[in-house]
Amino acid sequence: MYIEQSTTVLALLESAPIAVVVVNTRGTITLVNGKTEDLFGYKRDELIGQPMEVLLPSRFANRHHHHRDSYFDKPKARSMGIGMDLAALRKDGTEFPVEVGLSYVEVDGERLAMSFITDISVRVEAVESLRSHAQELESRVIVRTQEIERRRRVAEGLRDVLAVLNTARPLEEILDLIVEQASQLLETDAIAIYRQGEGEDAQRVQAARFLDDPDSGDPAPASSLSPAILHVQEAARPLRVGGDAGMTQSGRYRSVLAVPLNVQGEIYGSICLYYRVARSFTQEEKEMAVVFADQAALAIENARLREEVGRSAVAAERTRLARELHDAVTQTLFSTSLIADVLPKIWQRDPEEGLNRVAEMRELTRGALAEMRTLLLELRPTALLEAKLGDLLHQLADAVTGRARIPVSVAVEGTGTLPADVQIAIYRIAQESMNNIAKHSGASQASVKLHQTAESLSLEIEDNGRGFDPKNIPSNHLGLNIMRERAESVGAKLVISTVKGSHTRISANWHYPSSPGAKMQ
């Protein structure tokens, strides 16, 4: 039975701003309004009497037909705004999204379902646009997070390299760290730093990663290198990688980014980054490769400077030893030679005076021998640790006696093995003290006393010279400050006692730390 199309009912349906479709319990359309015709493209007569599924895509129609009765058995009214989101089908076969609200009426004892249908294409497009925008933002966040992480890794890698650039580590170790960081940050398949051979075309590998990887495949022809990469090489003024190792590796890879190493205005070699696939490089990658090349060049330059400093230090030490040989040993031997020349005449004239001269010669030669041994210790510093401290003090005393003609007595009590740094520090303090006695004290005699126990050491050096004013020491006299620094470096206590015009006493006291197991063996 169809609804009686009264003027009032039709007026209400036609005035509705949305499509209205009335369906009976059999799922047959009994009434539609004008908005339905506009929305679906059907004439009213084409829909009346048709099953509701005519307005649904086939994939929904069967399911809707199967559950048709449930809409009436268990009716669920849905107002607009919380209706069902479905897909609808126009007469021309196009699909579009709709929201369907439901309500139920009873006419002449028959229950009818009224569907209120709204086209939600704009809303769906907006939601989809928001979802797409959200996905794009999420993708940007991921890319940005990855970029931040990559930059963090780059910063840490460059920091690690900079941390060792100015250290005294071997050049090979620093270059090895540079290629490791460059390989990780630029994601290379292989990397090498080459050194240009002198007078040769070939370069020698100085540091490398994965250069001899057996899984890199058969060598490809050199012409397979990407033209874009060759352009990068040309722009970077690269050097040709010659020799079997270099050319073989170049052939195995499709792309190479090469940057020359410019050390003090000269081409030292190059850093080459190898990739198995043909690719282009971003400006940032090129700049990073240049940064690593600059770091390698700086490491090489620092190594050269350290070698030059080392050579200068050796030359300066040789000059100092030569000067001390002249000032001490040579003059002592010269005095001995003069005495030896006149000794026969003195002996003939006065045998007792001759004996005195012989004793003087003996002291001079002993002093020269002690001075020579002291200088030999400077040439071989490890000998300072091999000898006993008491023997070293005797040697210093003999040298002062021979050089300055000042008798120095030495008294040693106790024995023991000192830590290396303590023995060297105490020896240097004694050496500086006796040098001051020989050069500045004007003393006629001096004494050295060393007392050692299982846990402590006490050194005392005293002369009967003219003393000095501790508050009025020339700025170019650094000996006392150096002695204090040496004492502090090993935890010893240095005391300087002097009376101007009378004497000077220097004492150094050291005790083993109280930590467990820190006693003399």
CA diameter of the chain = 169
**Residue 216 predicted with pLDDT over 50:** no
Domain harbouring 90, CATH code: 3.30.450.20
In a domain, 463, yes or no: yes
The answer to whether 102 and 79 have CB atoms below 8 angstroms apart is no
pTM: 0.43
pLDDT at 40: 92
Q: Is residue 319 part of a domain?
A: no
Do 262 and 164 share a structural domain? yes
Residues 296, 156, single domain; the answer is: yes
Residue 81 identity (one-letter amino acid):
G
Q: Is 310 a member of any domain?
A: no
The pLDDT of 279-287, averaged and rounded, is 86
Question: 186: domain range?
Answer: 150-304
| CA gap 72, 64 in Å, rounded | 13
Q: What is the CATH number of the domain that holds 404?
A: 3.30.565.10
Q: Does residue 333 lie within any of the structural domains? A: no
Last residue of a domain, one of 280, 304, 328: 304
Range in 53-67, 215-229, 298-312, 453-467 the model is least confident about: 215-229
CATH code where residue 189 lies: 3.30.450.40
Clarify whether residues 201 and 291 are in a common domain: yes
Residue where a domain stops, chosen among 274, 304, 334: 304
For residue 478, tell me if it sits in a domain.
yes
How many CA atoms lie within 13 Å of 252's alpha carbon, on the beta-carbon side? Answer: 20
* DSSP per position, 95-111: EEEEEEEEEEEEETTEE
Q: Tell whether 164 and 297 lie within a shared domain.
A: yes
Asked if 294 and 425 sit in the same domain, the reply is: no
Residue type, 376: L
Predicted local confidence at residue 218, as pLDDT: 37
For residues 259 and 272, give the distance between their C-alpha atoms in angstroms, rounded to a whole number: 7
Q: What is the pLDDT of residues 436-481, one digit of tens each?
A: 888 888 888 899 999 988 788 999 999 988 888 777 776 656 678 8
Domains of the chain: total = 3
Last residue of a domain, one of 239, 269, 304: 304
